[in-house]
Chain A
Amino acid sequence: MRKLKLFLNFEKEETWLSEMATKGYEFVGKSFTYQFRPTEPENVNIRIDYRKFKSKEDFIDYITLFEDCGWKHIAGTKSSGTQYFKKVSESADVDIFSDSDSRAFRYKRLSKMYLSLAICYLPILIALFNNDHQYASALLNPKELYYTPGLWEKTGMDFWGAFLFETPFALFRGIVVFCFPIMVMLYFIFSIKADQNYKNSLK
């Protein structure tokens, strides 16, 4: 079974994954979606860290340390960021963090990642605005997404017929025009959200 969900709060994500396990869905991996395998309902302890690695050796060293401590790495790659661990040893601690600073700091790393994504795309967005006048004016005046000549001068049934006919096409053009700025904006919002979570978990 696959599920699509977006979390900016690691605690909520950990709780959700544990709840899925008690319902009999074992979390087995994450690519774009969360992948689950039906199994016996089970009480599990799943914890999430956020880290990217420069080299494969660093990544293996990291996973090995957690395994030594009784935590099995169940999902995440060298550069995926989110790393999922499941407690497998009775003697392991209840959490992968032993102080609130290090627990909070994973949010700082998440926030920085979203901020760098937003900053990466920002110059492209600015270039689009400056060089493509049709693009910029469509963004400020969505009426221009409609190409039917004289559409906005029409009235009554004439107008609605032509308007509704073209709306699907205009929407499609709109997605292309709006998706880029929305993406950049979302990255900024996610970055700020993650930073708020960082500050909240320090308290």
Chain B
Amino acid sequence: MKRDKNIPLTETVYYILLALLEPAHGYLILQKVEELSDGQVRMAAGTLYGAIDNLLKLKFIEPVPSEDSRRKVYVITETGKEMLQLDLERMKHMIRITEEAF
């Protein structure tokens, strides 16, 4: 089977998608990503904005109505969930063969 061209996801994209399993606005995404990665992944504002813009174009995430008029809120789409799943399988495979090798 031919692999999807977006796989492997970058580390930041993976964490953003994971964070957006629940709706969140930009700054909340940053905080969630930092928390999920044990403080390993810290994204700056410009980088996150570009990543969100790109994920919207890919339709991996979508905007949802928000009560906050100044901050847009996003959530993962079905396509986005599929991508997470595909990348999870890829990493599981890598972990399995690596553990067997040692």
Binding site for B on A (CB under 8 A): 47, 49, 51, 57-58, 60-62, 64-66, 68-69, 71, 93, 95-99, 102-103, 105-106
Contact = CB atoms under 8 A, between A and B. Distances in A.
9 contacts: A49-B46, A51-B49, A65-B26, A69-B45, A71-B45, A97-B44, A97-B46, A97-B47, A102-B51
B42 interface: yes
Nearest to A57: B72
Contacts, number: 57
A110 to B, nearest CB: 14
B50 A66 contact: no
Interface of B: 12, 25-27, 30, 42-51, 69-72
Nearest to A98: B44
Contacts of A69: 27, 30, 44-45
B70 to A, nearest CB: 4
Contact of B50 (A61, A95, A105): A105
Given A65-B48, A69-B44, 16 more contacts: A61-B72, A64-B26, A65-B25, A65-B49, A65-B71, A66-B45, A66-B46, A68-B26, A68-B71, A93-B42, A96-B46, A96-B47, A98-B44, A102-B47, A102-B50, A105-B50
Nearest to B27: A68
Contacts of A65: 25-27, 45, 48-49, 71
Contacts of A71: 45
B68 to A, nearest CB: 9
A59 to B, nearest CB: 11
Given A61-B70, A65-B71, A96 B45 contact: yes
Contacts of B43: 98
Nearest to A70: B45
Contacts of B72: 57-58, 61
Contacts of B46: 47, 49, 66, 96-97, 102-103, 106
